[in-house]
Amino acid sequence: MTTLTRRTILKGAAATALLPAMLRANPGETLLRAGAANVQLVEAEYPATQVWGFNDSVPGPTIRAPQGAQTLLRLRNDLDQATAVHWHGLRIDNAMDGVPGMTQDAVPRGGEFLYDLTLRDAGTYWYHSHNRSMEQVARGLYGVMVVDEPEAPEVDRDLTVVLEDWRLTSEAQVSDDFDNMHDLSHAGRMGNFIQAVIDPAPTEFAPNERLRLRLINVATDRIMPVSLRGVEGWIVARDGMPLRTPEPLEMVVLGPAERVDLIVDVTAETGGEVLVVFHQRDTGYVLNEYPVTGPGTESRRPMLQPLPPNPIANLTSTDDARKVPLLMQGGAMGGLQEGRYKGKTLSMRELVAEGQLWTLNGEAGLPETPLIEVSRGETVVLSMGNDTAFPHAMHMHGTHFQEVLEDGTFGPHKDTVLVNPGEARDFAFVADNPGKWLIHCHMLSHQTAGMKTWFRVT
Ligand SMILES: [Cu+2]
C-alpha cells in the first residue's frame, strides 16, 4: 500500500478543498451552511436518513488550520429554526463563542454570521450548534476542528474518529422525541445506532504504521468507553491540550464532548486486524475493523516525545484562589424538593411542569446574575459536587481548568469533565478571557432541562 506522508493527508483533508464552488464564501472565508440533507447513515437496505448538517454532511467539513492562524467561518442558516455555532474548547474572543442570548443573537433562517477566530491553541476541537442544541446536535449539526502544531510529531496517518450515537426509527429517521421526560430526568437521550466515523476513511493498515487518532465524542448524552485492538500506544492530549507525560493507552472513556489524541503503532501482524471496540457492560461491540496487510516496516519506532505545550498557564498554587461551590442536584432519584427558576422558588412539581429538572446551586435554567464575577488574572476554584444519581459532563466555556489533586498537584487542562454521582472534586482556572461564559452539563438533555449557569470575567 502507499505510505501517505503527513503533508499529503493535510492537503487531502483541507475542508475548503472539498467544498464545491457554490459553497465558497468570500475570499479567505470558509462557508458553513446549516441545512437539511439526506445521508446514507445505515446499511443500504434502509432508506437515507434526513439529517441537519453543515454543507450537506454529517459530520460537517473538518476545519483545519495552523496554530496561530486567523480563521474566518461564515455560518449561513438554511434551517427552519435559528442556530449558532460554538467552537468547543477553543480559547477565543467572547463575541465569537456562539451562545445565543449571551454572546450573539441566534441566526434566523436565511441569516448569516461571520465567526472570526484566532487559534491560540493547537489540538483537537470541535464545533456544534449551541441553539436548541439537544435537538440540533442530535440531528447532526457538528464537525471537527483540528489546529496543527507548527512541529507536529511524525506519523504515517492523522485520522479523526467521531463517535456518534443516533436514535433512529425503524425507517432509519432521527427520532424526534426530544421532549421525552424519561430521557431528560435520567441519563439523557441514548441512541440505538453507535458508530465511529474515521476520516480519511482507511481500508487497511500496515504493520508498524504510526497513527495519530483524534477521538471526539459528539453524542448528546452517551458516555463512550472505547478500546482499540491491534495497536499499542499513548494518550498524548486530552480535550486538545497536550499531556506533559503521555499515558499508556488502555480503555478510553469519553463523556459527551470530551476528546483524546492518541499516537499508536499498528502492532498486529500481516493477516491480523485493527479494531475499534465500543464497550457496554461486559460486551465489546466492534464498530470498525480493518485488515492489516503488506510488509509494513520491520520494527516499531522509538517512544515519542510529548506534544509541544499550548500557551496556557500551568497552575502551581490555589492559595489566593476564589473558591466557588457548584452543586449539582435534581433528576430522577435525586430527592430535590424545590429549586429557583427565573427568579422564583418552585416546587419540584412546578419545575417539572416547566421542563426544568436539574439545578446548579439550587437554580434551574440560566440565572440572570452570574455564578461569579471575577477580574482578569484571578484564580478560581470550582468545587464541583454531584448530589444526583447520574454522572454529568461538566463543560466550561472560554478557558480550560485543571483538577486540584489530593497531593496538591494539578491534573491536565480540560474543558469538559465527567463527575460521577457522589463525587466532590475541585477544578481550578485562571480567568484570563474577558466576557460572559457558560458552565453547563454537556449531556445536552440535562442542559436543556436546567443544568447551566454562567460567569463573567472583567
Ligand atoms: Cu448532566
Residue-by-residue DSSP string for 377-397: T-EEEEEEEE-SSS-EEEEES
What pLDDT does 225 receive? 98
Confidence band for 214, pLDDT divided at 50, 70 and 90:
very high
pLDDT, residue 302, reads: 84
Residue-level pLDDT at 22: 44
Residue 315 counted as domain residue:
no
Each residue's pLDDT tens digit, 61-82: 999 999 999 999 999 999 999 9
CA of 447 to the centre of ligand 1 (A): 7
Q: How many domains does the chain have?
A: 3
Q: Which pLDDT does position 445 carry in this prediction?
A: 97
pLDDT exceeds 50 at position 9: no
Q: Are residues 130 and 186 in the same domain?
A: no
Of 249, 269, 291, the residue that ends a domain is 291
Q: Are residues 452 and 327 in the same domain?
A: yes
Instruction: Work out whether the CA dihedral 385, 387, 390, 392 comes out positive or negative.
Output: negative
Contact 408, 316 (CB under 8 A): no
Q: Which CATH number goes with the domain that contains 220?
A: 2.60.40.420
Claim to verify: residue 282 and residue 344 sit in the same structural domain: no
Helix (H, G, I), strand (E, B) or coil at 446: helix
Cα(210) to ligand 1 centroid in Å equals: 36
The answer to the question of residue 201 being in a domain is yes
Is the pLDDT at 13 greater than 50? The verdict is no
Final residue of a structural domain among 241, 273, 291: 291
Distance 150 CA to ligand 1 centre (A): 36
Q: Is position 158 within any domain?
A: no
How much is the mean pLDDT over the chain? Answer: 93
Q: Ligand 1 center to residue 362 CA distance, Å? A: 15
Indicate if the pLDDT at residue 5 is higher than 90: no
For residue 48, report the distance from its CA to the centre of ligand 1, in Å. Answer: 31
* Residue after which a domain boundary falls, among 233, 268, 291: 291
**Residue 325 pLDDT > 50:** yes
Q: What string of DSSP letters covers 46-91? A: SPPEEEEEETTBSSEEEEEEETT-EEEEEEEE-SSS-B-EEEET--
Arithmetic mean of pLDDT, 181-196: 96
- CA 364 – ligand 1 centroid, Å: 12
Bridge partners (DSSP) listed for residue 220: none
Q: How far is the CA of 417 from the centre of ligand 1 (A)?
A: 11
279 lies in the same domain as 341:
no
- 8 Å CB contact between 147 and 350: no
Ligand 1 centre distance from Cα of residue 430 (Å): 24
State yes or no: cis peptide before 59, omega within 30 of 0.
Answer: yes
CA of 185 to the centre of ligand 1 (A): 10
Confidence of residue 299 (pLDDT cuts 50, 70, 90): confident
Residue 31 domain-assigned? Answer: yes
HSE-CB of 173 using CA atoms within 13 angstroms: 6
Provide the pLDDT for residue 25: 59
Q: Which residue has the cell 488550520?
A: 65
94, 13: one domain: yes
Per-residue model confidence as pLDDT tens digits over 346-398: 999 999 999 999 999 999 999 999 999 999 999 999 999 999 999 999 999 99
Q: Please give the distance, rounded to the nearest whole angstrom, from the Cα atom of residue 389 to the centre of ligand 1.
A: 10
CA–centroid distance, residue 115 to ligand 1 (Å): 28
> Ligand 1 center to residue 329 CA distance, Å?
10
402-418 tens-digit pLDDT:
999 999 899 999 999 99
Residue 283: per-residue pLDDT: 92
Polymer length in residues for the chain: 458
442 in any annotated domain: yes
Q: What pLDDT is stored for residue 16 in this prediction? A: 37
Ligand 1: distance of its center to the CA of 184 in Å? 9
**What's the confidence (pLDDT) of residue 24?**
54
Q: Is the pLDDT of residue 446 over 60?
A: yes
Distance 10 CA to ligand 1 centre (A): 36
What per-residue confidence (pLDDT) applies to 69? 95
Q: What is the mean pLDDT of residues 136-164?
A: 97
pLDDT number for residue 303 = 78
Ligand 1 center to residue 29 CA distance, Å? 35
Q: Domain range holding 104?
A: 6-150
Question: Does one domain contain both 364 and 445?
Answer: yes
Ligand 1 center–CA 393 separation, angstroms: 6
Q: Tell me whether residue 159 is in a domain.
A: no
| pLDDT the model gives residue 4 | 28
259 plus 371 within the same structural domain: no
Q: C-alpha distances in angstroms, 370 versus 190, 363, 375?
A: 31, 11, 13
382 and 263 co-located in one domain: no
pLDDT at 298: 80
pLDDT value at 11 more than 60 = no
User: What is the CA(419)–ligand 1 centre distance, in A?
Assistant: 9
Å from CA of 386 to ligand 1 middle: 10
Percent of the chain having pLDDT more than 70?
95
Q: How close is the Cα of 256 to the center of ligand 1, in Å?
A: 10
- From the CA of 335, how far away is ligand 1's center (Å)? 16
Q: Is residue 258 part of a domain?
A: yes
85-132: pLDDT as tens digits: 999 999 999 999 999 999 999 999 999 999 999 999 999 999 999 999
**Whole-number Å distance between alpha carbons of 418 and 443:** 10
CA of 451 to the centre of ligand 1 (A): 7
pLDDT band at 17, cuts 50/70/90? very low
Q: Is 309 inside a domain boundary?
A: no
For strand 392-396 and strand 435-441, is the pairing parallel, antiparallel, or unpaired? Answer: antiparallel
| pLDDT over 70 (residue 289) | yes
Distance, CA 281 to ligand 1 centroid (Å)?
Answer: 20
- How far is residue 98's CA from residue 357's CA, in Å, rounded to a whole number? 25
144 and 185 in a single domain? The answer is no
